[in-house]
Homo-oligomer: A and B are copies of this chain.
Amino acid sequence: MSPGPSDVDTSKLRLGMVGGGPGAFIGAVHRAALAMDGRFQLVAGAFSADPQKSQAMGRELGLDPLRVYGSEEEMAAGEAALSENRRIHAVCIVTPNALHFEQAQRFLEAGFDVICDKPLTTSLADAETLATLVESTGRVFCLTHNYSGYPMVEQARALVASGELGSLRKVYVEYLQGWLGEPIEASGQKQAAWRTDPQQAGACGAMGDIGTHAHHLVEHVMGSPMTSLFASLDTFVEGRALDDDGMVLFRLANGASGSLVASQVCTGQENRLTLKVFGSEGGLEWRQEHPNDLAVFWKDRPSETWRPGNSWTTSRALEMTRLPSGHPEGYLEAFANHYRAFAAALDGKPLEAPTVHDGVRGLRFLNAVVQSARDRGWVALSP
């Protein structure tokens, strides 16, 4: 049966997407995540700067061709012109980093709520401008640092916040990938191409792409901001303009110190994001590749493995769990938890997901990393 365009479902929140054309990884992830709980329907898109490619993706997704646009400018105008019961409620931005600012600004100003991929922008000034705009417009703005969408990360955050780990001392985070271990951008791999291009990615490569996830995870779980850092950046693949590897030592406001390593040249590593936290009474460890196990350590009793879906997890962690314990949930489910929180925020609840302010903090982190690596000294981060 040959599908025609899908109809608009009035029971759902209507989303438009900017970016996410053919071959884009994160666009497809956002589409799967937004669909999972049935709260959203994707009804419009500016999937590519090439109008033909944008239409092709729209057809693949069964969208009304009239609502597939060649630019976000057209889309913002076109959607704003539709009646309230047809036009999109919100826009999802999944373009390369350098485009986020202008696109987010445009949709916020046009009165739309925004859910945007990370990092927020490529400059701190832009990030701060967006934050101000979010405040002044009162729109909902969600930044998809998706790893905080895992139930066991929420459980980790709650455990730290509970004080049961005692006074916090150490946090170690590593984010290791191997897929940029060779110059695949030279042979046209699209995902690699924009991430290694300063024009599209910004001042940082690996640090922007995955280091910001690690940074967010630290601050989110620790409930405390970085106050200073020392960084070292490397580019191991010849001819690459941006860092493909970096290491950071840091201190948090709560007195803990830690290290953050992020690399995209660690051969054989897939998406190894791990977090370890230690306090005076206990500690914890979480690994993204086995996200349903949270190791918890104690001073004077056996270590434990906490798993989602159990009655003794927090109510928020239980909400973030769709299945009974023992039925593994993964990356898409975690991502979908942020879309669920975004939906709830559109319904007027406080946003229980990363905000534009987390995005500003991410840019402050990247700025400090670049400065520290250049000056070879510690750099303070403004709070």
Contacts and interface: CB of A to CB of B under 8 A. Distances in A.
Contacts of A322: 28, 32, 332
A25 B272 contact: no
Interface in A344-368: 346-347
Interface in A205-232: 230, 232
A111 interface: no
A269 to B, nearest CB: 7
Contacts of A249: 230, 232, 247, 249
Interface stretch (A6-14, A16-24, A126-134): A6-14
Interface in A317-352: 322-333, 346-347
A327 B271 contact: yes
- Tier of interface size on chain A: 35 or more
Interface in A361-382: 376-378
A169 interface: yes
Contacts of A325: 270-271
Given A232-B257, A332-B333, A177 B326 contact: yes
Interface in A160-175: 165-166, 169-170, 172, 174
Interface string A250-289: 0000000111010101111111100010111111000011
A267 B280 contact: yes
A67 to B, nearest CB: 14
Instruction: Count identical subunits in the complex.
Output: 4
A259 B259 contact: yes
A36 interface: yes
Interface stretch (A48-56, A115-123, A304-312): A304-312
B271 A324 contact: yes
A310 B28 CA distance: 18
Contacts of A282: 267-268
A112 interface: no
Nearest to A303: B305
Interface in A27-45: 28-29, 32, 35-36, 38
Given A291-B328, A324-B25, A267 B62 contact: no
Interface stretch (A70-78, A96-104, A294-302): A294-302
Given A25-B324, A178-B283, A267-B280, 19 more contacts: A1-B347, A4-B10, A6-B11, A6-B12, A7-B9, A12-B62, A29-B323, A36-B36, A181-B299, A259-B261, A265-B280, A266-B278, A268-B297, A269-B278, A271-B326, A289-B326, A301-B304, A327-B330, A328-B328
Interface of A: 1, 3-13, 25, 28-29, 32, 35-36, 38, 61-62, 165-166, 169-170, 172, 174, 176-179, 181-182, 230, 232, 234, 236, 245, 247, 249, 257-259, 261, 263, 265-272, 276, 278-283, 288-292, 296-307, 309-312, 322-333, 346-347, 376-378
